[in-house]
Amino acid sequence: MAEETPVKAVQVKLVLLGEAAVGKSSLVLRFCQGDFNENTSPTIGAAFLTQKCRLENRIVKFEIWDTAGQERFHSLAPMYYRNAQAAVVVYDITKASSLEKAKAWVKELQRQANANIVIALVGNKVDLVSETSATETTPAATSAATEGDDETESPAEDDEDSATPSPAAPAADSDDARQVSTVEASTYAKESGLLFFEASAKTGHNVGEVFTEIAKTIPFDTIAPKPAAGAQQPGRRNANGQEGGRVSLGADQQAKKGGCC
């Protein structure tokens, strides 16, 4: 009986984008390590993680760049989404202004990123709303969208990737928590050619499905071969030669090691 040919992993560069405090790092931590931390520290610059997704006919190794949401780091974003095959744009379903920021990121990606990039729009924090509010939108103060890009930096307000709601967010058991309806966001995603999910980094709801669907959707024939052995990219290995880990890429950027399935 002939031996089966080992399935090689296909490397896919994926970038996470979104406003501060929508839970980007929490989503990635849930996907890579199956963990959730209520007190996730703000991402400074960007963080790097890896995780594999196993499909029927291939293994996709995601190389994930989790970017900071603070406006002062916006200019660094092109460095991370350049040549990316996929992007996850995250918003907070309990904060209407975060969807507007997500739309701005989508527009930028469609204008400047890889022409074949697969973009997933993900509404995080569904654990904070009731199921009956899925199609309802609580009137949100329009002025909230103008609260400013230069956010005051404090653990509570500038926790870029904590899945914990801001102090102004309604209580978790309130039917009023949702500010972005599923219909509104899904309609926008469909019109813009995006994948769409509502998820919860806290409970893990739909987190794996986001990355699995991205892996299934990517046109692999457009992915360039990986660099030859020895042609390492900056920041991919630490001083001990280990993948991931904390590295120094300038501009106070940082990277964190991801898990593996």
Q: Which domain holds residue 75?
A: 9-138+157-221
Answer yes or no: are the C-beta atoms of 175 and 132 closer than 8 Å.
Answer: yes
Q: Is residue 64 part of a domain?
A: yes
- Give the tens place of pLDDT for each residue, 52-97: 999 988 999 999 999 999 989 999 999 999 999 999 999 999 999 9
Q: Does 244 fall in a domain?
A: no
Query: How far apart are alpha carbons 143 and 134 in whole angstroms?
Result: 23
- Give pLDDT, residue 11: 96
Ranges of H-type helices in the chain: 24-33, 77-81, 96-112, 182-192, 207-217
Band of pLDDT at residue 142, cut at 50, 70 and 90: very low
Looking at residue 256, its pLDDT comes to 41
Note the Cα 240 to chain centre separation in Å: 28
- In a domain? residue 99: yes
Q: What is the mean pLDDT of residues 17-27?
A: 96
Considering the domain boundaries, does residue 260 fall inside one? Answer: no
pLDDT of residue 104: 98
- At residue 237, the 3 state secondary structure works out as strand
Q: Does residue 210 form part of some domain? A: yes
pLDDT tier at 4, thresholds 50, 70, 90: low
**In-domain check, residue 131:** yes
pLDDT at 146 over 80: no
Kindly state whether residue 87 falls inside one of the protein's structural domains.
yes
Query: Which band of pLDDT confidence, cut at 50, 70 and 90, is reported for residue 24?
Result: very high
Higher pLDDT, 254 or 212: 212
Element of type H or E holding 12: strand 9-18
CATH number, residue 36 = 3.40.50.300
In a domain, residue 74? The reply is yes
- Count of domains in the chain? 1
Among the ranges 68-72, 132-136, 139-143, which has the highest mean pLDDT value? 68-72
